[in-house]
Amino acid sequence: MLRLDSVSRHFGDMRVLDRFSLTVPDGQLLSVVGPSGCGKSTLLRTIAGLLPAQEGTITIDGAPVTGVPERLAVVFQEYGRSLLPWLTVRDNVALPLRRRGLGRAARRAAAETILERVGLHGAGRRHPRELSGGMQQRVAIARALVCRPSLLLMDEPFGSLDARTREDLEDLLLQVHRADGTTIVFVTHDIDESVYVGDRVVVLSPGPGSLVVRDLPVDLPAERDQLTTRSLPAFVKLRTEVGRAVRGEYGEG
């Protein structure tokens, strides 16, 4: 379980997170939405141990986060900048395994297995620049998964992809989540996407010092489909509720 207790993070005089609390049970895919600048990226970077919390505590399975946790992976929006251009796709994916002391052959075999899983069979010897944006983001997802993280943080991961590629990657994410049961915190600007991939959606208020203003369980069938799920009345109701909350209308319904 991921737990944030009264976490504060400020930059100079601006308190971006101000006694912020949140609990994410194991295996949940939590979508986080909120107005631009409310502190979503700061929240993720603080959970990831990249920005230390100045007050409060963050624990993963009861253990306080003091640096970058061992079984945590992060996927950012800017796949182009997160992959190393001089390494092959396979070596990019295998990179996190170096720290685990695995031999080269074992690292490459693990990378090939995970590449196949994300639909990139045969792309291992290519370089990132030879791939489309969607394929590069698949590489970044493969690299995040290669260490079998128990917690995956995703910051607008599909924000710069075209609509069709985005849908494919949303479905890939759902598939991985169903198969591995990884706990995922998924930040997005896209209200429909937050509902489509989420088990739960939290909406943050405008910053600084943003709070959770809505916390909505996503009561949709686990098996999701881009066309069917998005046309369900329950989906339409939820996206309306989330949309209202993002606009500052916090009342019920």
Ligand X SMILES: Nc1ncnc2c1ncn2[C@@H]1O[C@H](COP(=O)(O)OP(=O)(O)OP(=O)(O)O)[C@@H](O)[C@H]1O
> Which tokens hold the place of 240?
């309306």
d(CA 2, CA 88): 34
Interface positions, 101-160, toward ligand X (CB under 6 A)? none
Asked if 229 is part of the footprint of ligand X (rule: CB under 6 A), the reply reads no
Number of residues binding to ligand X, judged by CB under 6 A: 11
Task: Give the binding range for ligand X (CB under 6 A) out of 34-42, 86-94, 124-132, 230-238.
Answer: 34-42
Interface positions, 196-215, toward ligand X (CB under 6 A)? 207
Nearer residue to ligand X within complex by CB, 127 or 189: 189
**Per-residue CA distances from 18 to 21, 113, 222, 249 (Å):** 9, 42, 34, 21
d(CA 247, CA 38): 13
**Per-residue CA distances from 168 to 87, 139, 162, 204 (Å):** 25, 14, 10, 27
Strands 55-60 and 14-24, by their bridges, are unpaired
Least separation in angstroms between residue 211's CB and ligand X is 13
d(CA 140, CA 89): 9
Nearer residue to ligand X within complex by CB, 36 or 101: 36
Least separation in angstroms between residue 48's CB and ligand X is 12
Helix (H) / strand (E) containing 56: strand 55-60
According to CB under 6 A, which one of 40, 107, 138, 177 is a site residue for ligand X?
40
Asked if 16 is part of the footprint of ligand X (rule: CB under 6 A), the reply reads yes
Could you say which DSSP state residue 205 is in?
Answer: P
What is the contact mask toward ligand X in residues 50 to 79, using x (rule: CB under 6 A)? ------------------------------
Asked if 37 is part of the footprint of ligand X (rule: CB under 6 A), the reply reads yes
Nearer residue to ligand X within complex by CB, 94 or 154: 154
Q: Is 80 left (phi over 0), alpha (psi -120 to 50) or beta?
A: alpha
Least separation in angstroms between residue 16's CB and ligand X is 4
Give burial (CB, 10 Å; 0-12/13-18/19+) of 34.
buried
Task: Give the binding range for ligand X (CB under 6 A) out of 20-28, 30-38, 103-111, 163-171.
Answer: 30-38
Task: Give the binding range for ligand X (CB under 6 A) out of 39-47, 120-128, 211-219, 236-244.
Answer: 39-47
Task: Give the binding range for ligand X (CB under 6 A) out of 40-48, 101-109, 229-237, 239-247.
Answer: 40-48
Partners of 55 in beta bridges: 8
Given the rule CB under 6 A, which residues bind ligand X? 11, 16, 34, 36-42, 207
